Structure 1
């Protein structure tokens, strides 16, 4: 059992929107590991960060990714920082990993500067820039396909992903 596609990328890259559309197009289900973490913890990601800390969140996230990669046959969207865990990067080997690439200005527009995202609390634009720069090499190294999302409609991104997926 293996997901048809695993979407990775920074906040604002379109993983949730594109992931749901891609799943619909492929006739499979969509799963988001952030939603899995929230279901397990019984609270939103932001609350986990505040109440339990980033380390606790990352442990829940790593387990959510491990389970989803083992159980899910549809389209899987990973939280933007899931790729920080070496164990997760190892588990992604051999999967159809698609990196949704986004530029800073479009990511800021999509995420919004009044975001409830815990890693973007202080100076969101600067934090997002640092986060994107630090993670870019990991995203690129894991991806079988990189799809630029700037100035593109979600359906256009899905079209490109579908063309790039191996049967």
Structure 2
């Protein structure tokens, strides 16, 4: 067990889950998404966790989900957008094949939309996304071995750029 072959990080709407699925298929490995792990553990969707239990409770579940996934999973791993906020998570990611899927504000608005159930983007989504990225971009960059832009690219093109950046061969 050597850990994940690829770990994707990035903001909400960057396409982490979609690209992770393409990568897992191309590499013929298992796919895991820590947001799905949190939902399974909590027994409710992420917006409900935020509203019922608060962001600190969600972040604690997220930290535990990421630590477990990094220890147990050897395929493609997609992390929730805010996972890098935790210092202990960033420490666990050190030296791993992490790729930051980056995107512009214009793409985020198009992809995330204004009605998507994203608890941190409910009021004034453009302003909140910009502030979120000001805080998170340095953290995404800190943990990433490579940065791949997703603007104007299909999930297949992004997946290929990730494979190229990490010099991984398809199965």
Shorter-normalised TM-score: what interval? over 0.9
Provide structure 2 residue ranges, at least 5 long, that are not aligned to the other structure: none
The runs of at least 4 aligned residues of structure 1 exceeding 3 Å deviation read: none
Return the TM-score normalized by structure 1: 0.98
* Offset of residue 125 of structure 1: 1.4
Q: What residue in structure 2 maps to residue 38 of structure 1?
A: 39
Report deviation, 1:166: 4.7
Q: Give the Cα separation in 2 of the matches to 1:13 and 1:87.
A: 23
Distance 2:34 2:8 in 1: 11
Q: Distance between the aligned counterparts of 1:123 and 1:160, measured in 2?
A: 32
Aligned to 1:132: 133
Distance 1:124 1:137 in 2: 20
In structure 1, runs of 5+ residues without a counterpart are: none
What is the aligned partner in structure 2 of residue 150 from structure 1? 151
Q: Deviations over 1:15-34 (max 9, x none)?
A: 01101001100000111100
Helix, strand or coil at the partner of 1:107: helix
Pairs aligned (count): 167
TM-score (norm. length: structure 2): 0.95
- Structure 2: how far apart are the matches of 1:121 and 1:163? 36
> Shift of the alpha carbon at 1:40?
0.1
Map of 1:53-68 to 2, 5 A cutoff? 53-68=54-69
Matched residue of 1:114: which SS? coil
Tell me the equivalent position of 1:110.
111
Q: Secondary structure at the match of 2:148?
A: strand
Q: Once the two structures are superposed, what CA deviation does each residue of 1:107-148 show, in whole Å capped at 9, x if it has no partner?
A: 111111112110011111111111012100011111001001
Aligned to 1:22: 23
RMSD, aligned CA: 0.9
